Amino acid sequence: MGSPRKGGNTQILLDEAMRGAREKGAEIAYFDLNNMKIGGCQDCGVCAETCCCHINDDMQLVYQAIRESYRFILASPIFFAGVSAQAKAMIDRCQPFWCEKYLLKRPIPPEGRAGLFITVGGMKKAEGRDCSFATARSFFRTISVLEHRELCQLGVDARGEILKHPEALKEAYEAGKTLMEP
């Protein structure tokens, strides 16, 4: 969860997706990135040698969950034509997975991995969506999620405005359920 806004549009859609996933039996590790201590990648090169990140912050919890889970939802508002800084910091810190996959040729076994990206933008311009989609794709492939679905609501700005779009809520709920299918 990459939005800082409590009760915001991203949160509402994510809650719907998680509700659908739980109905299909999901046990969910939820990370509210805005309230976690996750520093930016330092490009120190340690993970190129060890495939581990030596920064001892809350990202260590996310690393463990990424290794242990097989379905993933990334949710972020569009901020300045991309994902939020909170989401991006977490994604950049996935460099150890990138090293493991592309340098050591030792990807996390991708069997059963699938993803869902949820994003909301206040404007109707597609450029924010395009950039966010590219970042989400890069994130998912790095953690060996070979397939993911994208949900994007544009032109939704005020806190909770997404509630006026019941079709978007339903779509998120259904996407959460579908994510849990084999």
Please report whether residue 121 would count as binding ligand FMN according to CB under 6 A. Answer: yes
Residues 21 and 75 sit within 8 Å (Cβ to Cβ)? no
Please report whether residue 81 would count as binding ligand FMN according to CB under 6 A. Answer: yes
Please report whether residue 26 would count as binding ligand FMN according to CB under 6 A. Answer: no
Scan residues 142-171 and list those touching ligand FMN (CB under 6 A): 156-157, 159
| Separation between Cα atoms, residue 79 and residue 89, nearest integer Å | 13
Give the end-to-end CA distance of the chain in Å, rounded to a whole number.
24
Residue 22 CB-density burial (10 A; 0-12 exposed, 13-18 middle, 19+ buried): middle
Residues 21 and 28 sit within 8 Å (Cβ to Cβ)? yes
Stretch that binds ligand FMN, among 87-95, 114-122, 139-147, 164-172 (CB under 6 A): 114-122
Please report whether residue 77 would count as binding ligand FMN according to CB under 6 A. Answer: yes
Query: In whole angstroms, how close is the CB of 91 to ligand FMN at the nearest point?
Result: 17
Structure tokens at 24: 């299909």
Query: In whole angstroms, how close is the CB of 122 to ligand FMN at the nearest point?
Result: 3
Query: In whole angstroms, how close is the CB of 57 to ligand FMN at the nearest point?
Result: 23
Sign of the dihedral defined by the CA atoms of residues 16, 20, 21, 26, in that order = positive
Please report whether residue 131 would count as binding ligand FMN according to CB under 6 A. Answer: no
Please report whether residue 128 would count as binding ligand FMN according to CB under 6 A. Answer: yes
H/E stretch holding 9 reads: helix 9-23
Q: In the complex, which residues of this chain contact ligand FMN (CB under 6 A)?
A: 3, 5, 8-11, 77-81, 120-123, 128, 156-157, 159
